[in-house]
Amino acid sequence: MKPEVTEVTDEISYLWTDAEVQLVLRGLRETDAGNWRGMLEVRSTRQQDRQNGSGGHMFWHAVSITAATERTKLADKLQKRVPRQDGWEQEIDRCFYDAYQRKVCVPEGTDLADVELVSEEARFLYDPILPLGQVGLLLADQGSTKSYLMLYLAVCVVLGIKSIFGKPLRQGPAIFFDWEVDSQVARRRLGWICRGLGVPIPRGLRYVNMADRGRLMDRARDMRQLIDRLEPVLVLIDSLTFATGADLISTEFAAPTMSAIGGLGEGLTKLVSAHPNKASRKLEADDISVIGSGLFEFRARAIWHMKRETQRSANFMVKMASRKPFDGAPTQPFTYRMRFDNQQHATYFESASLRDSEEFADTELTVAERIRRALQKHGQLDTKQLAEVTGAGEVQVRVACNRMDDIFPMTGGAGGRGRTTTWTLRQPNGTPGDLPWWSDDDDA
C-alpha cells in the first residue's frame, strides 16, 4: 500500500496506514558534495504506542537520502521493528526519491494571465509603512524606540484598532520573534503601550525568545511550523543584527537569512528591525544602510529609517523617512510623538507634523516653509536673522521671501535708512503681523 504524503513548510511525512508507521524528513539541504541531508524521525501511529508517553516516537537520526547504504540500513532497522512481508527497502527507496524530486525539481509555474488580481493598487497592512504580505524593514539605531513601535503595531493588529498610521487592513494574531531582550522586558513594554491605548493586554500576541535558539536561517523551519499553526497576520523579527548570528558582511549568511524571512509564509506580512552601520548613522535616510551585506536590504520591499530627536526627555518626536518605497513614488518623511508617563506607567503614540519639531523641520522643510515657521514663532526677523534660524544663505532667504505671497517686508535695506529688510507674516485680513511696529515705520 502506498504511503500518504504530506508536505508542510520544511517537513515531508510518509504514512503507511496498513503498517501504522510514519516516516518524517525535516530540514533537507544539499551539501557541497551534492548530497541531500536532513533529520529523520520514525513514529508508530498505533494508538497504544501514541499513549505510552513517547507519543509514538520510535527512533531518529541524521540521514542522507541520496546514499544507498543509508537507505539499506534504515530498511533493515524498520524491518526489525515493524516486520513487512516484502521488506522495507523498496518503500524507503521510493520515499527518498520522492523527497529528492520535491527538493530539486522546479515547478511548472503559474501563467500570470490566470492570476486574479485582488487590487490594481499596492496594498498595505499599514499605509504607507508596511506592504501587505511583504517584508518591511525598520532601520533604526539603538534608543530610537523601534521595539516599542513594533509592539504597538502588533497590538493594533491583534485588536483591529486605529493606530497613528490608521486602522490595519487586517486583524488577527501576531508573533514576535525576539533576539534582543526577554519576555519580562517585552511584557513590561506591552503593558505601558496598552495603558497608553486605554485597552487591556490582548490575547493573540505570541512572544518567542530566540536569543538562545541560534541563527534565524537555522530555525526558519520551526518558525514556519509555528506560523502554520497560529496563522498570524503579522510577524515581528527584532533584530536582524542578532538574528543573523554570524558575520554580517558575509553574503553566505545574509542571503539565506533574508530568504528564510521572505519564506516564512506566503501572504504573511513580516516586519524586521535592523541597525545602521556606524559610518552612516549621522547621514540622511537615502545614505543610511544596514550593518553588513547589502543583501539584507534587497529582499525587503519597503525600508524606513527611524530617528528620534536628540533631546533626552519623556516627550519626543520620531521621524520616519522612506529609504526604499514600495511600488510607487517616494513617500515624504513624517513624524509621530511618543510620550512616556512614569506616573501612569503608560506610553502614548500621537500623530504629529514635521513642523512640530525644530530639529526635524530644519532638515526636511523647504526654505520657504522654514521661513514661514520661523516668523510664526518670532513674529518678525530680518534677513540675516532668518538666514541664521533657517540655515539658508541670506540671498536664498531674500529671494524666497520676495516670492512668498504671505510674507511682508517691514523695512528694506534700500529704502529703509540702510537697514537690512525685516520680514513678517501677513495676517488673514491682509495686514502685517505687527501693526504698531509697522505704524512707527510708516510715520517715519
For 336-360, what is the mean pLDDT? Answer: 89
Residue 22 lies in a domain: yes
Poorest-confidence range of 24-33, 170-179, 322-331? Answer: 322-331
What CATH number is given to the structural domain containing 336? 3.40.50.300
What average pLDDT is seen over the chain?
85
pLDDT band for position 51 (50/70/90)? confident
Whether residue 135 is found in the same domain as residue 52: no
Half-sphere exposure of 364 (CA within 13 A, CB side): 22
Residue 192 CA to residue 186 CA, distance in Å, equals: 10
Q: Of residues 53 and 116, which shows the higher confidence score?
A: 116
Residue 239 lies in a domain: yes
Q: Which of residues 291, 322, 355 is at a domain's end?
A: 355
Domain residues for 350? 124-355
Whether residue 230 is found in the same domain as residue 338: yes
Poorest-confidence range of 35-44, 231-240, 278-287, 303-312? Answer: 278-287
For 309-318, what is the mean pLDDT? Answer: 86
Residue 117 lies in a domain: no
What CATH number is given to the structural domain containing 404? 1.10.10.10
Give alpha helix (H) positions in 87-182. Answer: 89-104, 146-159
Residue 118 lies in a domain: no
Could you give the C-alpha distances from 335 to 305, 321, 327, in angstroms and in order?
Answer: 11, 9, 22
What was the pLDDT predicted at 168? Answer: 97
Q: Which of residues 308, 327, 355 is at a domain's end?
A: 355
Whether residue 218 is found in the same domain as residue 299: yes
What was the pLDDT predicted at 279? Answer: 56
What was the pLDDT predicted at 382? Answer: 92
Whether residue 33 is found in the same domain as residue 56: yes
Q: Of residues 356 and 183, which shows the higher confidence score?
A: 183
Poorest-confidence range of 133-137, 173-177, 365-369? Answer: 365-369
Q: Which of residues 104, 136, 166 is at a domain's end?
A: 104
Whether residue 80 is found in the same domain as residue 196: no
The partner residues of 235 in beta bridges, in order of sequence, read 175, 270
Whether residue 412 is found in the same domain as residue 372: yes
Whether residue 437 is found in the same domain as residue 330: no
Poorest-confidence range of 184-188, 213-217, 275-279, 368-372? Answer: 275-279
Render 368-437 in DSSP notation, one character per residue: HHHHHHHHHHHSEEEHHHHHHHH---HHHHHHHHHH-TTEEEEE-TTTTTTPPPEEEEBPTTSSBS-HHH
Provide the whole-model pTM.
0.70
Report pLDDT digits (tens) over 168-211: 999 999 999 999 999 999 999 999 999 999 999 999 999 999 99
Whether residue 314 is found in the same domain as residue 336: yes
Which of 5-14, 108-117, 175-184 holds the top average pLDDT? 175-184
Per-residue pLDDT at 292 exceeds 80:
no
Whether residue 162 is found in the same domain as residue 244: yes
Q: How many domains does the chain have?
A: 3
Per-residue pLDDT at 1 exceeds 90:
no
Whether residue 416 is found in the same domain as residue 330: no
% of the chain residues with pLDDT over 90: 46
Poorest-confidence range of 16-20, 47-51, 350-354? Answer: 47-51
Residue 119 lies in a domain: no
Instruction: Say whether 362 sits in a helix, a strand or coil.
Output: helix
User: CB within 8 A of 65, min separation 6: which ones?
Assistant: 25, 28, 36, 37, 38, 71, 96, 99, 100
Q: Of residues 330 and 210, which shows the higher confidence score?
A: 210
Report pLDDT digits (tens) over 417-438: 556 789 998 876 555 544 333 3
Contact 335, 353 (CB under 8 A): yes
Whether residue 98 is found in the same domain as residue 167: no
pLDDT band for position 441 (50/70/90)? very low
Residue 115 lies in a domain: no
Per-residue pLDDT at 59 exceeds 50:
yes
Q: Please, what is the angle between helix 383-390 and helix 367-378, to 10°? A: 110
Whether residue 326 is found in the same domain as residue 375: no
What was the pLDDT predicted at 415? Answer: 44
